[in-house]
């Protein structure tokens, strides 16, 4: 990803902006939906994961966009629509990105011993954004119990400034949000 950003920054930026314009998401808090009266279906459990950046930015530098992969534990999945695309209720720009960023997502379900992954690309508005929380992801939780933040991991983090240059001083983190 970093090599592509260095080699083709304008082309990738255009691709991300076009793709982001086609999708946006919204989300919510951690909830447990109880079964209705007379309904024997078990309650559906949800967990919301907050993603954030940390580190320092050079004076006058803001985050123009980023890519990151959320690695999911075995009992956690992402809701998809009938076409297999990530449901619009799953990911929302939040915190420093709320109301001024566009999100593109791709879900790769579990396969054999390979865990499920949610790939996220976020492009901020023209002014960029500072360091802080940037997204919330609503996950569906299986009957094995509510996962802890330590059950999730992040990989393939690549932040860029508003000119498309990689920002090496930043890291990504996550936490479980409770109701």
Q: Is residue 121 within 8 Å of residue 65, measured between CB atoms?
A: yes
Check residue 65 and give its pLDDT. Answer: 97
How open is the CA angle 169-174-179, to the nearest 5 degrees? 145
Sign of CA dihedral 24, 29, 34, 40: positive
pLDDT value for 26: 32
Check residue 145 and give its pLDDT. 85
Cβ 148 vs Cβ 73: under 8 Å: no
Q: Which fold has domain 2-177?
A: Immunoglobulin-like (2.60.40)
Which residues pair with residue 171 across a beta bridge? 54
CB neighbour list of residue 168: distance below 8 Å, 6 or more residues apart: none
Cα gap 30→175, rounded to integer Å: 12
Q: Count the Cβ atoms, other than its own, within 10 Å of residue 51.
A: 25
pTM for the whole structure = 0.76
pLDDT tens track of the chain, all 179 residues? 444 444 444 444 434 433 433 333 333 333 333 444 454 445 678 999 999 999 999 999 999 999 999 999 998 999 999 999 999 999 999 999 999 999 999 999 999 999 999 999 999 988 999 999 999 999 999 888 888 899 999 999 999 999 999 999 999 999 977 64
| pLDDT for the residue numbered 43 | 62
Residue 93's pLDDT is 96
């Amino acid at each position: 990803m970093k090599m592509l950003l260095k080699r083709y920054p304008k082309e990738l930026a255009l691709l991300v902006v076009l793709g982001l314009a086609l999708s946006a998401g919204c989300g919510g808090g951690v909830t447990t939906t109880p079964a209705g009266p007379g309904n024997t279906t078990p309650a559906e459990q949800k967990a919301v994961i907050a993603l954030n950046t940390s580190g320092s930015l050079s004076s006058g530098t803001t985050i123009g966009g980023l890519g990151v992969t959320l690695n999911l534990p075995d009992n956690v999945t992402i809701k998809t629509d009938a076409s297999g695309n990530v449901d619009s209720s799953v990911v929302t720009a939040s915190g420093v990105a709320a109301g001024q960023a566009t999100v593109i997502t791709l879900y790769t379900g579990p396969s054999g011993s390979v865990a499920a992954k949610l790939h996220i690309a976020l492009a901020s508005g023209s002014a960029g954004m500072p360091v802080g929380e940037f997204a919330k992801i609503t996950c569906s939780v299986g009957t094995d119990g509510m996962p802890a933040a330590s059950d999730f991991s992040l990989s393939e983090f690549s932040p860029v400034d508003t000119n498309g240059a990689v920002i090496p001083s930043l890291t990504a983190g996550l936490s479980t949000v409770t109701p």
